[in-house]
Amino acid sequence: MTQMHIMSGPGDKLDMPVIRQITLADLGTVLRQGAADFWAKPSHYVLLMLIYPVIGIVLTVWMNGWHSWTLLYPLVGGFALIGPVAALPLYEISRRREMGEDPGWRDAVNVLRSPAMGSILAVGTMLFVLFTLWLTSAQALYESLFGPSPPRTLMALFTQVTNDPGGMTLLAVGTGLGAIFALVVLCTSVIAFPLLLDRDVGAYVAVETSVRAVLYNRVPLFVWGVIVGAGIFLASLPLFVGLAVVLPIFGHATWHLYRKLVEPASLIRNA
């Protein structure tokens, strides 16, 4: 029964949300709403999100010590793959503000008590597997072009990529691979986690609803994916510190994007 709940929700029938169509203008609206949520109490959110720049700095030190600089670019891109999980507390903050509450950081942590946590962990596991496959693919691509010996410094990697004939192949093919993984994540989880926090529909319905949302709104959600990917990449450049602001805004904005894309359950019941 627990496994059935995780995959399909607590009810006897699947709760299939109704998808709305949005426009490019709606993306600007949700970004403004996300920024408004962040600036309402930025001290709370910066405290919550500082862990990501810290992780980034630790990873940089680790790569320097173990000469794993070849994974720097994949790790930066990987933030976009696992970002939907990292933003769970932010969805909860936006959900509570939407209800007129004045939430703090403890309310964000309370997201762990959600009845849909089993389903959330199931979708999160899927994203972690994709993240691992992405890192493995990126490492295999590098070794196929340059061999198993990695550069010992970041500058050595930069010189290798810019001067070696295989450098452009690495960048082009690696970027293409990353785009494929990012597209899979976008299709399967763009609104999966906000939906599970709002309605305990199960992992299957959450993923299926995200896929339908992308199919019904191909252009706006493709642009959304580009905005998020580019924003995370640029925020990662100064030792990941920019993620302390960019990730919260994108996290809050994703909640509002969910509200734009999915018909509220109350409206469906009253129809």
The tens digit of pLDDT for each residue in 197-245 reads 999 888 999 999 999 999 999 999 999 999 998 888 888 776 677 777 8
Residue 53 binned pLDDT confidence (cut-offs 50, 70, 90): low
pLDDT mean over 148-159: 76
The answer to whether residue 17 is domain-embedded is: no
pLDDT score of 13:
63
Amino acid of residue 108: A
pLDDT mean over 123-152: 85
57 pLDDT more than 80: no
The answer to whether residue 14 is domain-embedded is: no
The residue that leads in pLDDT, 225 or 85, is 225
pLDDT mean over 114-120: 86
The answer to whether residue 12 is domain-embedded is: no
Residue 57, domain extent: 2-7+22-265
The answer to whether residue 15 is domain-embedded is: no
The answer to whether residue 270 is domain-embedded is: no
pLDDT mean over 49-55: 60
- For the chain, the three-class secondary structure string (H helix, E strand, C coil) is CHHHHHHHCCCCCCCCCCECCCCHHHHHHHHHHHHHHHHHCHHHHHHHHCHHHHHHHHHHHHHHHHCCHHHHHHHHHHHHHHHHHHCHHHHHHHHHHHCCCCCCHHHHHHHHHCCCHHHHHHHHHHHHHHHHHHHHHHHHHHHHHHCCCCCCCHHHHHHHHHHCCHHHHHHHHHHHHHHHHHHHHHHHHCCHHHHHHHCCCCHHHHHHHHHHHHHHCHHHHHHHHHHHHHHHHHHHCCCCCCHHHHHHHHHHHHHHHHHHHECCHHHHHHC
pLDDT mean over 163-171: 84
Q: What is the domain count for the chain?
A: 1
